[in-house]
Amino acid sequence: MDIIFGRNKKEQREPVRATVTGKIPSWLQGILLRNGPGMHTVGETRYNHWFDGLALLHSFTIRDGEVYYRSKYLRSDTYNSNVEANRIVVSEFGTMAYPDPCKNIFSKAFSYLSHTIPDFTDNCLINIMRCGEDFYATTETNYIRKINPQTLETLEKVDYRKYVAVNLATSHPHYDAAGNVLNIGTSIVDKGKTKYVIFKIPATVPGAGKKGQKPLKHTEVFCSITARSLLSPSYYHSFGITENYIIFLEQPFRMDILKMATAYIRGVSWASCLAFHGEDKTYIHIIDQRTRKPMLTKFYMDPMVIFHHVNAYEEDGCLLFDVIAYGDSSLYQLFYLANLNQNFKDNSRLTSVPTLKRFAVPLHVDKNAEVGSNLIKLPSTTARALKEKDDQVYCQPELLLEGLELPRINYAHNGKWYRYVFAAEVQWSPIPTKIIKYDVLTKSSLKWGEEHCWPAEPLFVPTPGARDEDDGIILSAIVSTDPQKLPFLLVLDARTFTELARASVDVEMHLDLHGLFIPDADWGTGTHPSREEQDGASDRHVAPQT
C-alpha cells in the first residue's frame, strides 16, 4: 500500500496534457479542483497518520475536449517550516512535533504553555471552499489558505478567529442560492463556555471592489449551541441543512480538552485525546433558520460516529436527514500509517461498516401523544421517533444501504427532496474500490469499477439546463495500485453510469479527499491555462488504456 499511502508524491507544477480516450461532452468546460495529503515524510521524520500529510492540491482543467493536469503543494506556514528544517516541526492531529529536541528545561516549559490551547496547523489538506470570488484550501482548524484555482499558487493565510470565536471549524460548509457560506465551528472555553458556533459568510458585500472589503470581514454569528460538556466537546466533520433548518449532531466521539492541554508535555498526539463513548447518546440539535434558535425538544439517537451528512429535507411536518454512520471510531484508527503497510489487508478490517441511514424528526411534537408512540407517520420511510418521558424523543433510523462513503449529490437538491447519492463503495475495508449511484427511492444502484483502481470522491456536474436530477456527468480522479497503469480522470454518464471518457496522465497522482468543480460559466475562460501555457504544456501523451 506504500504506492498509495506512504510515498511522497512529486508535484507537477506546470500543466501536462492528458491523453483522452472516449469523448468528453462539449459542454463540460472548467476546472476540477481537489485536495488531499501528498507528503508523509520530511527528512528522516514521518507522520503517524495519513490525515496528517502535507496538503497537495491538484486540478484537471477541461477545455474543448482536452484535459490539462497540474499539482502543487500548498505552501502553508507548516509546509515552509517543515521543509526549511528538513523534518516535521509543526504538530498535526495525529503527530506531535517538537521543534527543537535540544532545548533546555525552561524552553520546554514555555513550549508546553504555548501548546496548552494550541495554535493549530495551517496544513489545509481536506477540502476547497468557495467564498464569493475567492477559493480557500480548508482543514478542521481555525486556519484556511486562499489559493489561486488556475495556478494553484498559495496566497494569504486567514485566521477565522479574527472574525468569529472558533478554534476549530468544519471543511464541509453549505452554500445557499446566493452563494453565502454557512459553517460551524467549536469555541473552546470562551468566557467560561464551550460552544458550537454556526456562522455565515456573505457571498458579496457592499463596495466589494474596494481595497480591504472582503466577505470574511462581514462574517456573522448565526446561532450558537452550548456543548453538553465544557471540557469534552463533540468531534464532528459536517452538518446538515434544509430550507428552514440546520441539523447538528453532538456525537459521543469527544475531545478531552484537559488531555489536549497536557498532550505536548506528555509526548502524545492530540488524536490520542479523542475517544468514542459507546455508553452515551448522540444528540440531535435542530436550529430554526428563521428564528436562529434551537428547538426545545430533546432529540437523541444511538451512539455512533458520523463524518458525512448526505442530505436533508422537510416533508409533511417532519425533517428527514441522511448520514453515513459508524458504530464506533475504528475508521480513524485504520488510517494510521503503521496500519497502511504490506499487512494492510490484515489491519484494515473495520469493526463497523459505514451505513447510509435515514432519520426522521417531528417538527411539532404532540404533547398528548402516549409515551412509546411513534411520532413519524410518513409512508416514505420506516424511520421512527419514539416519544419518551421528560420531552425526549428517541430517533431510530431506516437503514438504506451498507458499504459507502464520500457521498455527493446534485447540489441543486441540497436541503430539498432528492433521489440519488453518488459515493465511493467500501465494505469492511475503508478503501474505495468502486463508484456507486444509489437510488434512495427504489433502493437500486449502479456501479463502476475496474481492477486495481481506487476512485476518489465522485463529483456530480449537471448538464446545462438539466431538468432531471441525474442529468449530468460524474468526475472522479482514479489512482491505481498497479504501477503499470497510469492514473486518470474518469468521466461517467451520471444517468446510466457508463464511461464516456478517461484522461490518463503520466504523473504521480495522490489519493485525494474532497474538492469542487468550477464551471466556465462562473469564471469565464480565464481559469483555463493560457494559450502560451497550453503550447508549453508537457506532451507526455500515453497509449490508450485497455
CB 70 within 8 A of CB 238: no
Specify which residues 298 forms β-bridges with. 392
- Number of Cα atoms under 13 Å in the Cβ half of residue 179: 12
Which helix (H) or strand (E) is 79 found in, with range? Answer: helix 77-85
Which helix (H) or strand (E) is 473 found in, with range? Answer: strand 472-480
Specify which residues 420 forms β-bridges with. 439
Which grid cell sits at 347?
A: 489491519
| One-letter identity of residue 434 | K
Q: Which residue has the cell 430539498?
A: 416
Binding positions are 172, 237, 308, 514
Give dist(CA 434, CA 432) in Å, integer. Answer: 6
Q: Give the DSSP letter of residue 114.
A: H
DSSP string covering 378-391: -TT---EEEE-STT
Which grid cell sits at 168?
A: 476549530
Task: Outline where DSSP puts E strands in 244-397.
Answer: 245-250, 253-255, 274-276, 282-288, 293-294, 298-301, 305-315, 318-326, 355-362, 384-387, 392-396
Give dist(CA 260, CA 380) in Å, integer. Answer: 44
Query: For residue 255, which of 304, 352, 188, 309 has the smallest C-alpha distance?
Result: 188
- Number of Cα atoms under 13 Å in the Cβ half of residue 80: 6
Q: Cα-atom radius of gyration of the chain, to the nearest Å?
A: 23
Binding positions for Fe cation are 172, 237, 308, 514
Q: Give the three-class secondary structure for 90.
A: coil
Q: Give the three-class secondary structure for 411.
A: helix
Give dist(CA 16, CA 67) in Å, integer. Answer: 8
Helices (H), 325-481: 330-334, 344-347
Q: Which residue has the cell 458579496?
A: 204
Which grid cell sits at 56?
A: 497537495
CA distance readout (Å), 136 to 32, 123, 149: 14, 12, 9
| One-letter identity of residue 190 | D
CA-based torsion, 119, 123, 126, 127: positive or negative: positive
Query: Mind spelling out the 3-state secondary structure of 156-192?
Result: EEEEHHHCCCCCEECCCCEECCCCCEEEEEEEEEECC
CB 317 within 8 A of CB 328: no
